[in-house]
Amino acid sequence: MKTWGVIRQLILGRRVVVIDKKYQTDVGGGEYTPLATKLDVTPVRFMIGGGGSRINILDPRIAARLNEEPGDGDSTPAGQSMLVRAVMEEALRRPMTPKEGKAVRVAHRQALAAAKTAGEVADIRHVLAALYAPDPDTAAAAGLTPAELREWGQDPAFELERMIEDDLAGLIDGPTSDHIELNAGLTVFDVSLLPEDGPALPIVMTIINTWLANTLYRQASPVPTTLLIEEAWHTVQGSVATVTRRNTKLSRALSLSCQFAFHHVSDIPEDSPAIAMLKECGTVLLYKQQKTADALACEHMFNLPPGSADVISRLVKGTCLFKIGSHDPFEAIHVRSPLEIELTDTDNAMKSNSTITFAHNAAPMEVPA
């Protein structure tokens, strides 16, 4: 990922965006930190509770199509309404009911209008306020009463309030940080400090994906861009998977190449949108799979010749089974330059020469006979 997906893409003059998941103790951040530092790039770091970066899901740079519903059209990236719905369903830990969905859509519309009147940029707290206090005019325009909207939106409001004060505190509850912008070279989003469990990680990864897709959609001149998502299994379940797949389906139109790193294909639920997303990949690099179930899952998912699972399970370090389009796979050797070897070394913590010194200057203790 660091060589083929980052360094060599930059040499070709392409733009690269990385979502960096794996924390490295020796660098105090994600594993792409040394590479970014070498290229004089400061990673955009996210952390719960403040002190990190923030992305507003109602940012004008994310298209606002208020009538959009999951599954509507394939001509444009996912917009604000899909993101708001994804966040709400993560908060509720279940799909929204039709009435809840209606209340949230009206609250979204009210939030944008209220912020515009106040000369502000709307964010998720404006949506929360609208759920608690529906505007009579906005409700009437939707053919409902404020009481109906308040009742229908009560559970989403309670769970959303809990999540932005706890699970997502400091991540989506305000304006997008000024330093977050799509530059001409490398952008690294460091999400390594976000907890493995809970909604923060998949939601932030999906927001970044959508922000990028809409930014590319609006650019005047297409710039070939590569998006790398490490630990991509965080995007394979729930509404976030639906949003991610919708964005990736438009990659060709956006001049975007999406690269996902999965470790255990057999762990992906059969009904997950990620399955369809993986099957649509034009290029697949399969490294050694120690578990038979994973090797067999790869053979089945990518329609490989019979016996490929055995080949995958016996691959040696530095080699992979390489499949391009509908062509037969072939074994490839991943050769790295000295610089690439340096920048892809993530074993420093295991090679540390630091030792622990134990003090033995405590006063002797008398032990009764």
The verdict on residue 186 lying in a domain is no
Rounded to whole angstroms, how far apart are CA atoms 189 and 180? 9
* Global pTM exceeds 0.75: yes
Neighbour count for residue 344 (Cβ, 10 Å): 18
Q: List per-residue pLDDT tens for the chain, 369 residues long.
A: 999 899 999 999 999 999 998 888 888 889 999 999 999 999 999 988 878 888 888 888 776 444 444 445 556 777 888 888 888 888 888 899 999 999 999 999 999 999 999 998 899 999 999 999 999 999 999 999 999 999 999 999 999 999 888 888 888 888 888 888 777 689 999 999 988 877 888 888 888 888 888 888 888 888 899 999 887 777 766 677 777 778 778 888 888 888 888 888 887 777 777 787 788 888 999 999 988 999 999 999 899 999 999 999 999 989 999 999 989 999 999 999 998 998 888 776 566 565 555 555 544 444 444
Rounded to whole angstroms, how far apart are CA atoms 24 and 130? 41
Rounded to whole angstroms, how far apart are CA atoms 79 and 257? 20
The verdict on residue 230 lying in a domain is no
Phi first, then psi, for residue 280 (nearest 5°) are -85, -5
The verdict on residue 205 lying in a domain is no
Rounded to whole angstroms, how far apart are CA atoms 196 and 328? 37
Structure confidence at residue 271 (pLDDT): 77
Structure confidence at residue 348 (pLDDT): 65
The verdict on residue 294 lying in a domain is no
In the structure encoding, which two tokens stand for residue 367, read together? Answer: 């032990």
Block residue for tokens 């992979």 = 320
The verdict on residue 249 lying in a domain is no
Number of domains in the chain: 1
Rounded to whole angstroms, how far apart are CA atoms 316 and 334? 11
Helix (H, G, I), strand (E, B) or coil at 313: helix
Block residue for tokens 């530059």 = 183
The verdict on residue 150 lying in a domain is yes
**CA dihedral (103, 62, 196, 180) positive or negative:** negative
Rounded to whole angstroms, how far apart are CA atoms 313 and 58? 45
Burial (Cβ within 10 Å: 0-12, 13-18, ≥19) of residue 188: buried
The verdict on residue 292 lying in a domain is no
Range of the domain at 134: 54-176
Structure confidence at residue 367 (pLDDT): 42
Structure confidence at residue 32 (pLDDT): 92
The type of residue at 160 is: L
